[in-house]
């Protein structure tokens, strides 16, 4: 495969790369001819995209379907205040074009799924996983294994981060490290658990560096190694990850030979399955239900720190992890509506209550975030 030439402007722009013995003109031309997909234009995708574009990676593919929210700007440095309310893809494309007009940006306005992952990711040489949920991480991993592509993984939570390169052709995959996903109710999002804004900058930058090393074929990539970042202690540790001979995706006898339903695999409700009247209630309908039945019991299953930000008046607070042990505190004869931040944990709480004999239980669809958007616009959101 012939490598694209460098223009006069590119020779000047990449002068510090050209001086590196591991890069030089040929390496820079290799970067120009390369294609990297970034799943998620958020906290991790922002620094990765910025540094890959600055480095001269010829084509960057961005996969996202979200819009910029003011709460994103504490860490998602691809976007600015003026981009609030705009598509993250539009905002990112404009920023990357300004940073380096020599780079092509391909955008995919989609929530990556089993239906399109192979088609989208199959167009690129390296995949950088900047997603923030387990279904997408397993999806990206499995797609990369099936496609024979390296998956540059990153994850963050509060003050801690992880980075690894999963390349099943020469090492373990993500499933070799995490064979089973954790229960969804035990996995708070960044919005629920918080994240130090600079942390994704560190982790995403390392992901960008790993992608560049893979494209150039230099150094020692994080294959078979999990890098742990402790932001509070400013400490880096490394764990060895070995290939699992029983891995259902990259093992010698795989049982997962096509992409599956990753929401179901990770225990998340299927789209539309929670819309039944006996499972969920909308924010608007909850207003009417409370007016109709003053005895309706609201149960807030969020963490205490979340209640300090916003709460619904009159709600009883029982964190999800304590719910099973505190059932006696709740009146099983009353109609009950559980709620959390966005409706995932409250669905689990409703299941626990129904299993304990509570006959009239529903979960607030979209959680308190939906209530703030639809009922109380002045309520603080997080």
Residue pLDDT, tens place only, 104-156: 999 999 999 999 999 999 999 999 999 999 999 999 999 999 999 999 999 99
**What pLDDT is attached to residue 332?**
87
Catalytic residues: 190, 340
Place of tokens 């209550």: 353
Decide: 300 and 312 in contact? Cβ < 8 Å: yes
pLDDT class of 191 with cuts at 50, 70, 90: low
185: pLDDT confidence band, cut at 50, 70 and 90?
low
Compute the half-sphere exposure of residue 174: CA atoms within 13 Å on the CB side of its CA. 25
Q: What is the pTM of this model?
A: 0.81
Please give the DSSP secondary-structure letter assigned to residue 172. Answer: -
The 10s digit of each residue's pLDDT in 68-88 is 999 899 999 999 999 999 999
Mean pLDDT of 266-280: 62
Which string of b and e fits 326-349 if b means at least 16 CB within 10 Å?
A: eeeebeeeebbbbbbbbbbbbbbb
Question: How many angstroms separate the CA atoms of 268 and 246, rounded?
Answer: 25
| Gap between the Cα atoms of 79 and 68, Å rounded | 7
What are the beta bridge partners of residue 281? 364
Per-residue pLDDT, averaged over 208-222, amounts to 98
Give the full edge-to-edge strand order of the sheet including 361-364.
280-281, 361-364, 336-339, 297-300, 316-317
Q: Which structure tokens are listed for 129?
A: 């996983």
Side by side, the strands of the sheet bearing 104-109 are 104-109, 59-64, 35-39, 126-129, 151-157, 160-166, 225-230, 235-240
pLDDT surpasses 70 at 283: yes
CB count within 10 Å of CB 16 equals 8
Strand partners, 59: 35, 104
């Amino acid at each position: 495969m012939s490598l694209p030439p460098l223009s006069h402007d590119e020779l000047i722009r990449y002068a510090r790369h050209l001086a590196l013995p591991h890069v030089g003109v040929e390496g820079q031309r290799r970067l120009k001819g390369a294609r990297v997909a970034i799943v998620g234009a958020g906290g991790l995708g922002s620094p990765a995209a910025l540094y890959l574009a600055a480095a001269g990676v010829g084509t960057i593919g961005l996969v996202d379907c979200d819009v910029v929210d003011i709460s994103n700007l504490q860490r998602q440095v691809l976007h600015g205040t003026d981009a609030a309310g705009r598509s993250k893809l539009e905002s990112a494309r404009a920023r990357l074009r300004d940073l380096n007009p020599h780079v092509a940006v391909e955008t995919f306005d989609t929530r990556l799924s089993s239906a399109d992952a192979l088609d989208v990711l199959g167009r690129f040489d390296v995949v950088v996983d900047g997603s923030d949920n387990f279904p997408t991480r397993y999806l990206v991993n499995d797609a990369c294994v099936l496609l024979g592509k390296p998956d540059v993984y990153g994850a963050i939570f509060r003050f801690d981060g992880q980075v690894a390169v999963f390349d099943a052709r020469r090492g373990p995959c993500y499933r070799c490290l995490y064979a089973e996903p954790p229960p969804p109710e035990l996995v708070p999002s960044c919005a629920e658990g918080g994240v130090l804004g600079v942390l994704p900058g560190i982790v995403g930058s390392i992901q960008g560096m790993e992608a560049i090393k893979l494209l150039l074929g230099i150094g020692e990539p994080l294959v078979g190694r999990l890098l742990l970042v402790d932001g509070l202690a400013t400490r880096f540790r490394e764990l060895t990850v070995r290939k699992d001979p029983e891995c259902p995706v990259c093992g010698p006898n795989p049982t997962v030979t096509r992409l599956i339903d990753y929401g179901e695999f990770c225990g998340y409700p299927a789209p539309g399955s929670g819309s039944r009247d006996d499972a969920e209630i909308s924010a608007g309908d909850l207003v009417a239900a409370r007016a109709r039945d003053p005895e309706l019991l609201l149960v807030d299953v969020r963490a205490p720190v979340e209640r300090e930000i916003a709460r619904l008046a009159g709600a009883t607070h029982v964190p999800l992890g304590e719910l099973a042990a505190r059932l006696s505190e709740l009146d099983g004869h009353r109609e009950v509506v559980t709620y959390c931040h966005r409706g995932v944990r409250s669905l689990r709480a409703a299941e626990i209550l129904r299993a304990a004999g509570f006959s009239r239980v529903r979960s607030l669809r979209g959680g308190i975030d939906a209530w703030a958007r639809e009922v109380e616009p002045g309520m603080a959101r997080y």
